[in-house]
Amino acid sequence: MKIALAQLNYHTGNFESNTQKIIDAIGHAKGKGAELVVFAELSVCGYPPRDFLEFPEFIELCESAAKQIAAYCIDVACIIGLPSPNRRVEGKDLFNSAYFIENGKIKSVVNKALLPNYDVFDEYRYFEPATRFECIEFKGFKIALTVCEDLWNINDNPLYVLNPMDVLIVQEPDLMINIAASPFSYLHDDARIKILSDNCRKYDLPLLYVNQVGAQTEIVFDGGSLAFNAKGEILDEMKYFEEDIQIYEFSGGQIIGREVVSHHTLSDLEQIHHALILGIKDYFNKSGFSKAILGLSGGIDSAVVCALAAEALGPENVMAVLMPSIYSTEHSVQDALDLVNNLNCKHEIIAIKDATIAFDKMMEPVFKDLPFNITEENIQARCRAIILMAMSNKFGYILLNTSNKSECAVGYGTLYGDMAGAIGVLGDVYKTQVYQLADYINREREIIPLNSIIKPPSAELRPGQKDSDSLPEYNILDKILFEYIEQKKSSRDIIASGFDEATVRRILKMVNVAEFKRYQTPPILRVSPKAFGMGRRMPIVGKYLS
């Protein structure tokens, strides 16, 4: 039996596109001799559909798409993912389902049992968990078909009291197939491989696993679909961050014609780079946009975002706006111009001096003799946001936010100023990682000017300003933030590991006090195990650790 895994990039709610992609993949795989073509979790509607699932018409369109796909399954079968109605009155109205389609008909429906409700997942909000489990039969073989999380309850601290494979294995299946929507983080591929490999060894069965690829707003899917033998060894690893279709032959209880291969390891930095490029590209393509705008200061963050945007969208579609103030240094303007020339992207220079003077005069009757402070600094940042949004409105550009994770964490940014934007490109990338990204971008030639990398970071909103005036050095700050945010350690545990107590308590307080700012910032491309946004939900007025 020849089985194709179709790793595709879906668009949430775009039934016409998703359906056609699936039909085209079926035709392609059938032409290569495939007898069964397997697609990802919720492939028909895209993942995650969120509250689209509350609209009856959305579910009807899913069913209609499934029927269209079924009509093309003559002399070839397929497995697709979609939400399906729960016909029982009790429980949630929907299941997260896998349809097995053969000879133009839906032969079996397999429902997901383990519904994740952690980090970016919110499936129990919508779906009823399955309680009955049966293998599907095709070409004389029994297939244990599961949906994503249903294979993840296999570790020393299980999240669920049920394990679907423990039920399915009693039916003596020949092969496991798992359809998934497994989001990317730069630490996730190793964990994913271990979990799937452990299943093969526990149940002594080979496994075909298909993931989706592409970005849905802030969530990136990296692909990397897999084939394992019964020993849990990798027989094939499909492309990362690209669509891919591969065909596997199953015979005699094993996947044949494939040798054991090593995991195709990409460095954390390479993964982050590829994920950000894909995230930018899909955000624009799936939203119907083509042109990006950003403020280019001559600093490292905006330089990295500009370079990533130029790679993702093409330099001709990127507008970099230089907005020097009276405190901007001459070398910062030159660094920004050097970057623009290296990338060959569009640019404008619009000084904000006149705007800030106008605001100073306008506010003088109210501020009177009060000294210059953060108020005037923020006015400068907000003047820049006004300019960028004016150009966005006038010319159809979409504003990219350039704040990094370190800044977002401690609130080192101006709300409605430099924290504005439609999508946060670096909001899940710590400052120390931004420098590493700059070096990676420069791996073949100098794109980001060296001076942007080596000079002390500064917002340049007052004379001689440096980030270190307000924050600990980034090499210390980022380590503490990682322990708190990603590792979820308490102040007590972080201090016990050797960090200065006063510094730790100051940083954690800054993080929690800044929650109100993060609540109002754009969605952030998720590349870490714990990103700001839907994956980290904190109370704004909470007292703990503040």
Q: Note whether 211 and 178 are within 8 A (CB).
A: no
pLDDT of 274 reads 98
| Beta bridge partners of residue 207, listed in sequence order | 176, 228
Distance CA 319, CA 316 (A): 8
Catalytic, 148? Answer: yes
Q: Strand ranges (DSSP E) for 311-436? A: 318-322, 346-349, 398-401, 423-424
Given 2, 21, 30, 112, which residue is catalytic?
Answer: 112
pLDDT in tens, 116-164: 999 999 999 999 999 999 999 999 999 999 999 999 999 877 889 899 9
- Residue 91 contacts by C-beta under 8 Å, 6 or more apart in sequence? 128
- Average pLDDT in the chain: 95
pLDDT in tens, 429-450: 999 999 999 999 999 999 999 9
pLDDT of 490 reads 93
pLDDT in tens, 203-224: 999 999 999 999 999 999 999 9
- Residue 264 contacts by C-beta under 8 Å, 6 or more apart in sequence? 237, 240
3-state secondary structure of 274: helix
Is 2-265 in CATH node 3.40.50.1000?
A: no
Tokens 């001096």 belong to residue:
353
3-state secondary structure of 327: coil
Whether pTM > 0.85 for this model: the answer is yes
pLDDT of 466 reads 76
The fraction of the chain above a pLDDT of 70, given in percent, is 99
Q: Which of 46-55, 434-443, 470-479 has the lowest mean pLDDT?
A: 470-479
Given 41, 102, 218, 311, which residue is catalytic?
Answer: 41
pLDDT in tens, 369-417: 999 999 999 999 999 999 999 999 999 999 999 999 999 999 999 999 9
Q: Among 292, 273, 214, which Cα is nearest to 448's?
A: 273
**pLDDT confidence tier of residue 468, bands split at 50, 70 and 90:** confident
Given 73, 135, 148, 408, which residue is catalytic?
Answer: 148
Domain range annotation of the chain: 2-265, 271-469+514-518
Average pLDDT of the residues in 331-359: 95
Sign of the dihedral defined by the CA atoms of residues 52, 53, 57, 59, in that order: positive
**pLDDT confidence tier of residue 461, bands split at 50, 70 and 90:** low
Tokens for 220, please give them.
Answer: 């990136």
Q: Among 406, 423, 403, which Cα is nearest to 507's?
A: 406
Instruction: Assign domain 271-469+514-518 one CATH number from 3.40.190.10, 3.40.50.720, 3.30.200.20, 3.40.50.620.
Output: 3.40.50.620
Catalytic, 41? Answer: yes
Q: Which of 140-144, 166-170, 220-224, 471-475 has the lowest mean pLDDT?
A: 471-475
187 to 117, 272, 312, 529: CA distances (angstroms)? 20, 10, 23, 7
* Residue 546 in this model has a pLDDT that exceeds 60: no
3-state secondary structure of 407: helix
- Residue 485 contacts by C-beta under 8 Å, 6 or more apart in sequence? 409, 511, 530, 536
Catalytic, 243? Answer: no
Q: Among 49, 138, 57, which Cα is nearest to 97's?
A: 49
230 to 6, 171, 174, 208, 257: CA distances (angstroms)? 22, 17, 10, 11, 15
**pLDDT confidence tier of residue 543, bands split at 50, 70 and 90:** confident
pLDDT of 537 reads 87
